[in-house]
């Protein structure tokens, strides 16, 4: 049950990010409307998938990924997880061949992260029975600049709601993109960064091996 609960919290956080679905870049106050729309979409997919997911799981994962791709900065998240191995400083220190290799590694790891996150945590959603979600609109001062943290409360059968913080950043086009999630004080980005660094040390810095053997861990709170 813990994984089911965490799965819903993660995908809910991924989906309800206040992004650019009909939203003006300078008007993040409308985030709660985007949240409601996105939540309805994902719950609709999950409900419909109960009839076919067992026989055709790839269809289910594909529909969820279709919703996530426009709103989640998977590449930025993957780069953050790679930590110093994909830092700007390291990139600048490489020759042209090394830079090309690092770009390719980041591209491949982005796909690995997207694949793993969608499948690992979407599975638990099929057992989700329903929940009330409340998004707290950020206070005026936190809406300025290129970053904002939005708090979300997920109510279930437990006495206290689960708290999620999702960290948003503007891309070059001015659209909000989800960069990281903190679920009940568990920082998802830090967990996966630690996993990546541990694997890199184990494999003596061979990032190709790290990427090829990557497994998305199931985090429980």
pLDDT at residue number 35:
52
220 pLDDT above the threshold of 70:
no
Counting residues of the chain whose pLDDT is more than 70, the rounded percentage is 71
For the structural domain made of 2-212, what CATH number should be given? 3.10.450.710
Between 71 and 113, residue with greater pLDDT: 113
- Residue 102 and residue 90 in contact, taking contact as beta carbons nearer than 8 Å: yes
Residue 179: enclosing H or E segment and its boundaries? strand 176-183
Which is more confidently placed, 46 or 88? 88
Tokens describing residue 107: 């591209």
**Residue 17 banded pLDDT, cuts 50, 70, 90:** very low
Give the β-pairing of 176-183 and 132-136.
Answer: unpaired
165, 151 Cβ separation under 8 angstroms = yes
Strand duo 147-155 + 162-170: pairing: antiparallel
Higher per-residue confidence, 187 vs 4: 187
pLDDT at 167: 78
**CA neighbours closer than 13 Å in the CB half-sphere of residue 220:** 5
pTM of the predicted structure, to 2 decimals: 0.78
Residue spans of the domains in the chain: they are 2-212
Local structure of residue 113 (DSSP, 8 states) = H
Q: What span, in angstroms and rounded, lies between the C-alpha atoms of 154 and 89?
A: 39
């Amino acid at each position: 049950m813990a994984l089911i609960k965490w799965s819903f919290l993660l995908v809910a956080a991924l989906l309800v990010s206040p992004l650019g679905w009909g939203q003006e870049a300078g008007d993040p106050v409308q985030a709660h409307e985007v949240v409601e729309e996105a939540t309805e979409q994902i719950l609709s997919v999950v409900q419909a998938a109960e009839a076919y997911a067992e026989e055709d799981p790839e269809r289910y994962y594909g529909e969820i990924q279709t919703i996530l791709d426009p709103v989640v900065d998977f590449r930025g998240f993957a780069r953050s997880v790679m930590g110093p191995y994909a830092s700007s400083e390291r990139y600048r220190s490489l020759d042209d061949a090394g830079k090309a290799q690092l770009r390719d590694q980041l591209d491949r790891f982005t796909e690995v992260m997207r694949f793993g996150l969608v499948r690992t945590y979407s599975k638990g959603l099929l057992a989700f029975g329903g929940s009330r979600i409340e998004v707290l609109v950020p206070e005026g001062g936190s809406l300025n600049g290129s970053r904002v943290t939005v708090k979300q409360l997920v109510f279930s059968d437990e006495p206290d709601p689960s708290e999620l913080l999702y960290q948003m950043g503007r891309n070059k086009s001015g659209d909000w993109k989800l960069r990281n999630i903190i679920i009940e004080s568990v920082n998802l980005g830090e967990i996966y960064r630690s996993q990546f660094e541990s694997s890199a040390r184990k494999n003596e810095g061979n990032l190709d091996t790290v990427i090829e053997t990557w497994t998305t861990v199931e985090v429980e709170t």
